[in-house]
Amino acid sequence: MKAAVIVFPGSNCDRDMYHALTDFTDAETVDLVPHTSETVEAYDAIFLPGGFSYGDYLRSGAIARFAPVMQSVIAEAEKGKPILGVCNGFQILLEADLLPGAMKRNKHLKYMCRTVDVNVENADTCFTRAYEQGERLRMPIAHGEGNYECDEATYEALKANNRIAFTYASDVNGSIGNIAGITNEAGNVLGMMPHPERAMEKLLGSEDGRRLFTSVYRHWRDAHAVTT
């Protein structure tokens, strides 16, 4: 598997994402790809890390959505390649219309940085197949604008089509339905606010993030298995 970690001005979790992919999967290639790149066509999976792209001065993800690399990210998403956006990466996917809904400020208008309980709501995606349905995970959050919002029709569609991948075990930031992560309709694009790349080793308090990355790798491996 060839993986791309997109680096925007202000990304600060790109190295953590790189570490997660290089040390805990058998990916053949993991590249840090600058936002100025014109194409990511050569990669099998694309990862948008957390941080503060362009300083979040306008609205989180609103400027990054227009970075040169994003047209290619959108094109590869339409081909069905796995695209993961974490925290600021999730916000960029929303701004790019690869996922529905929007982010508001946390309900208490405070930045939060702590570890929370997260439920696996759908263990049948290319990002979650190494988890058990309904499993309780421990993952860090670090955001001021993670209050996921969508209209009622979109929320009902997300539920009806099993597109809610993760929920918080409690009301962390005011998100509708305690949503922590959703997929697109095809299931190959996942946005999530908790940071799996910061939950890779017990030394850091949790290794519950590992299986998200191994899920993506196994999905690619199974799709390219030689059967004859």
Q: What is the domain partition of the chain in residue ranges?
A: 2-224
Question: pTM for this structure?
Answer: 0.96
- Tens of pLDDT along 187-198? 999 999 999 999
Cβ contacts of 199-205, under 8 Å, gap ≥ 24: 199/115, 199/137, 199/138, 199/139, 199/140, 200/19, 200/20, 200/23, 200/24, 205/115, 205/138, 205/140
135, pLDDT greater than 80: yes
226, pLDDT greater than 90: no
The CATH T-level fold of domain 2-224 is Rossmann fold (3.40.50)
List the beta bridge partners of residue 58. none
- Tens of pLDDT along 17-40? 999 999 999 999 999 999 999 999
pLDDT band for position 224 (50/70/90)?
confident
pLDDT band for position 72 (50/70/90)?
very high
pLDDT band for position 227 (50/70/90)?
low
Catalytic residues: 87, 195, 197
